[in-house]
């Protein structure tokens, strides 16, 4: 068994996810893959440039899919993200999103809870991008491992995501102070 994980400072969650899905399909189809899988990983990590500000996108073709790495025009004062904002609105009501945004602006402790690992990361990134032009400068852990649950009692503002299977353990550490 092999595990592939892309870690990047670039906010291309959707593009990276699609690339990894296509890479999995390519690796599981025995007749199509002609080079080692490591070569494909090296390609996306070192040879495909991030689009510079002002360039709209960089495209990568893998199998039957075209993956686009998007960048905004250089002169527009918008957040540099290419995230599926609809995901957040599918998970939360507009009132809850506004309450969440208000809590972050007021530098409160925010705990996101989901039964899906991938939703926690995506929604955390989207919520952070909604703060633009401000930035979340406090503790930020989009997916908190169980062994780090005691840090939920920290006396600092945080934005933390907890998977539902760890909630019973995590709630013991959630402080009630504001």
> pLDDT, tens digit, for every residue of 106-116?
999 999 999 98
**CA–CA separation, 157 and 104 (whole Å):** 8
**In this predicted structure, what is the pLDDT of residue 75?**
64
> Is residue 121 pLDDT above 80, yes or no?
yes
Decide the pairing of beta strands 57-62 and 65-70.
antiparallel
**In this predicted structure, what is the pLDDT of residue 79?**
58
**In this predicted structure, what is the pLDDT of residue 162?**
93
> Is residue 56 pLDDT above 70, yes or no?
no
Among 120, 117, 112, residue whose Cα is nearest residue 96: 112
Distant-in-sequence contacts of 32-37, Cβ < 8 A, 24+ apart: 32/63, 37/2, 37/4
> pLDDT, tens digit, for every residue of 12-50?
777 888 888 888 888 887 677 777 877 877 877 777 777
Tokens of 34: 């002609």
Among 118, 123, 112, 99, residue whose Cα is nearest residue 162: 112
* Per-position b or e across 40-60, b if 16+ CB within 10 A of its CB: bbeebeeeeeebeeeeeebeb
99 or 134, higher pLDDT? 99
Lookup result for tokens 């760890």: 166
Q: How confident is the model at residue 104 (pLDDT cuts 50, 70, 90)?
A: very high
Q: Which of the 8 DSSP states describes residue 173?
A: T
Percent of the chain with pLDDT over 70: 87
Give pTM, 2 decimals. 0.71
Q: How far apart are the first and last CA of the chain?
A: 45
**CA–CA separation, 160 and 113 (whole Å):** 9
> Is residue 147 pLDDT above 70, yes or no?
yes
For the chain, what is the mean pLDDT?
82
> pLDDT, tens digit, for every residue of 69-98?
776 666 665 555 667 888 999 999 999 999
Tokens of 55: 């360039």
Q: How many other CB atoms are found less than 10 A from the CB of residue 12?
A: 23
Q: How confident is the model at residue 63 (pLDDT cuts 50, 70, 90)?
A: confident
């Amino acid at each position: 068994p092999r595990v592939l994980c892309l870690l990047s400072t670039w906010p291309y969650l959707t593009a990276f996810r699609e690339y990894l899905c296509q890479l999995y399909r390519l690796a599981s189809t025995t007749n199509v893959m002609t080079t080692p899988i490591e070569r494909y990983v090296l390609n996306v990590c070192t040879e495909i440039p991030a689009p510079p500000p002002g360039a709209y996108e960089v495209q990568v073709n893998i199998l039957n899919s075209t993956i686009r790495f998007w960048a905004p025009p250089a002169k527009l004062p918008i957040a540099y993200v290419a995230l599926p904002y609809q995901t957040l609105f599918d998970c939360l009501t507009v009132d809850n999103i506004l309450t969440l945004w208000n809590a972050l602006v007021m530098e409160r402790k925010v705990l996101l809870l989901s039964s899906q690992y991938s939703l926690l990361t995506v929604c955390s990134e989207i919520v952070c991008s909604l703060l633009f032009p401000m930035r979340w400068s406090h503790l930020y852990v989009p997916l908190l491992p169980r062994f780090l649950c005691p840090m939920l009692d920290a006396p600092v503002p945080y934005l933390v995501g907890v998977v539902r299977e760890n909630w019973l353990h995590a709630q013991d550490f959630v402080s009630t102070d504001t």
